[in-house]
Amino acid sequence: MKSFLHCLIILLSLQSYSCLAQNVTSESDTTLYQVFTKDGNSYIGTIVERNEEYIVLATKSIGTITIPADQIKEINKIIGSITDSRNWPYNFQTANYFASASAYGLKKGEGFYQNTWIFFNNFSYGVTDNFSIGAGVLATFFFAAEAPVWFTARLTTPVVEDKLNVGAGGVYGTLAGETFGFLYGMSTIGSRDANLTIGAGSGFVNGDFSDLFMTFAGNLRASRNFYLLLDAYVVENTLFAFIGGRSMLGRASLEYGLLTSSEFNVAGIPILGLTLPLHKK
């Protein structure tokens, strides 16, 4: 428990440093951004200058323009470049795999509802660019059984922009008068569209903690609208792994694959889920 608190303090320090660093924009930055304005237009270019009042955007089509901050609806980083036909838009759903989370969190105001096999229901919302909360319920009330309910919190921060992020979080739930949950930490190496996340944590029931578990997850964007997903857990020397993909359906997505384990008497259990955004673009 003390180790987790120490990691959390370090994480908060890194977050403070990264927030200060993000206020400075380099004029030599060649990263492409897509800026959506409140009048319905969008512009693609590099940010020459950025402050609290406006941004200066260098575009190829109409030259350098200045956009007032109060007219900006959203700014998204573009993956790839315009010339290599990989103008893939930012996707908030890369914050999660099948069940676990990456250290790339939701941005402020982003949110989603995730349903798996009708019974598993999760909601998540970005309070800030680095902190998100959520809640979930297992819909066992369909069978006149008491439904477990849980609440989540996650703190993330970049260490090296688009290359290394770290995070920590927790889950707290109740069922039939019992409490359960877990605390965890993770590191994500790579970008939002091609990454590997390694994590560790410990679960508890009524305040009694169990042995550590390990998590290994990966995300690879194979095309504009398709991702390969891996989400694996090692619990008491037993491996459980979700293997499959994610297909984008507009701003929603369909997740599908198999849950496999040496403990199963079958090759795998089919997984099917749907994720819907809860925020406007």
CATH number of the CATH domain containing 154: 2.40.160.40
Let me know if residue 5 belongs to a domain.
Answer: no
Answer yes or no: do 213 and 234 share one domain.
Answer: yes
Answer yes or no: do 251 and 199 share one domain.
Answer: yes
Per-residue pLDDT for 153 more than 70? yes
Dump pLDDT digits (tens) for 226-246.
999 999 999 988 999 999 999
Dump pLDDT digits (tens) for 252-268.
999 999 999 988 887 89
Report whether 272 contacts 256 (CB < 8 A): yes
Q: What is the pLDDT of residue 19?
A: 40
DSSP 8-state symbol, 267: S
Answer yes or no: do 95 and 73 share one domain.
Answer: no
Q: What is the pLDDT of residue 6?
A: 45
This prediction has a pTM of 0.73
Answer yes or no: do 203 and 67 share one domain.
Answer: no
Q: What is the pLDDT of residue 12?
A: 41
Confidence of residue 131 (pLDDT cuts 50, 70, 90): very high
Answer yes or no: do 167 and 270 share one domain.
Answer: yes
Let me know if residue 19 belongs to a domain.
Answer: no
Q: What is the pLDDT of residue 86?
A: 53
Residues 6+ apart with CB under 8 A from 140: 119, 146, 147, 148
Let me know if residue 151 belongs to a domain.
Answer: yes
83/95 Cα distance (integer angstroms): 27
Across all residues in the chain, what is the average pLDDT? Answer: 84
Let me know if residue 125 belongs to a domain.
Answer: yes
For residue 52, what is the domain's CATH number? 2.30.30.100
Per-residue pLDDT for 61 more than 50? yes
List, in sequence order, the alpha helices (H) in 197-271. none
Segment among 69-78, 105-114, 165-174, 257-266 with least mean pLDDT: 69-78
Rounded to 5°, angle at Cα 207 from 204 and 213:
20
Answer yes or no: do 107 and 243 share one domain.
Answer: yes
Report how far apart, in Å, the C-alpha atoms of 214 and of each of 165, 172, 185, 202 are.
18, 19, 10, 9
Q: Say which residue, 87 or 179, is predicted with more confidence.
A: 179
Concatenated DSSP letters of 19-54: HHHHT---TT---EEEEEETTS-EEEEEEEEE-SSE
Let me know if residue 9 belongs to a domain.
Answer: no
Residue type, 110: E
The residue range of the domain holding 142 is 90-277
Concatenated DSSP letters of 84-153: TT--BPP-GGGGB-SSSB-SS-PPTT-EEEEEETTTEEEEEEESSSSEEEEEEEE-GGGGT-PPPEEEEE
Q: What is the pLDDT of residue 142?
A: 61
Number of alpha carbons in the 13 Å side-chain half-sphere of residue 136: 21
Answer yes or no: do 50 and 145 share one domain.
Answer: no
Last residue of a domain, one of 77, 101, 136: 77
Report how far apart, in Å, the C-alpha atoms of 67 and of each of 72, 190, 254 are.
7, 31, 36
Answer yes or no: do 246 and 270 share one domain.
Answer: yes
27/214 Cα distance (integer angstroms): 41
Answer yes or no: do 43 and 128 share one domain.
Answer: no
Rounded to 5°, angle at Cα 15 from 136 and 36:
75
Answer yes or no: do 129 and 205 share one domain.
Answer: yes
Answer yes or no: do 37 and 123 share one domain.
Answer: no
Dump pLDDT digits (tens) for 82-124.
444 455 777 888 899 999 999 999 989 999 999 998 889 999 9
Report how far apart, in Å, the C-alpha atoms of 16 and of each of 9, 156, 159 are.
11, 11, 11
Confidence of residue 13 (pLDDT cuts 50, 70, 90): very low
Report whether 272 contacts 116 (CB < 8 A): yes
Task: Find the mean pLDDT for residues 155-183.
Answer: 94
Last residue of a domain, one of 49, 77, 105: 77
Let me know if residue 83 belongs to a domain.
Answer: no
Beta carbons within 10 angstroms of residue 197's beta carbon: 24
Segment among 32-36, 81-85, 204-208, 219-223 with least mean pLDDT: 81-85
Q: What is the pLDDT of residue 177?
A: 87
164/144 Cα distance (integer angstroms): 45
Q: Say which residue, 78 or 250, is predicted with more confidence.
A: 250
Answer yes or no: do 139 and 268 share one domain.
Answer: yes
Task: Find the mean pLDDT for residues 223-227.
Answer: 91
Task: Find the mean pLDDT for residues 139-167.
Answer: 87
Let me know if residue 52 belongs to a domain.
Answer: yes
Let me know if residue 70 belongs to a domain.
Answer: yes
Q: What is the pLDDT of residue 182?
A: 95
Q: How far is CA 97 from the centre of its chain?
A: 8
Confidence of residue 18 (pLDDT cuts 50, 70, 90): very low
42/34 Cα distance (integer angstroms): 7
126/193 Cα distance (integer angstroms): 19
The number of folded domains in the chain is 2
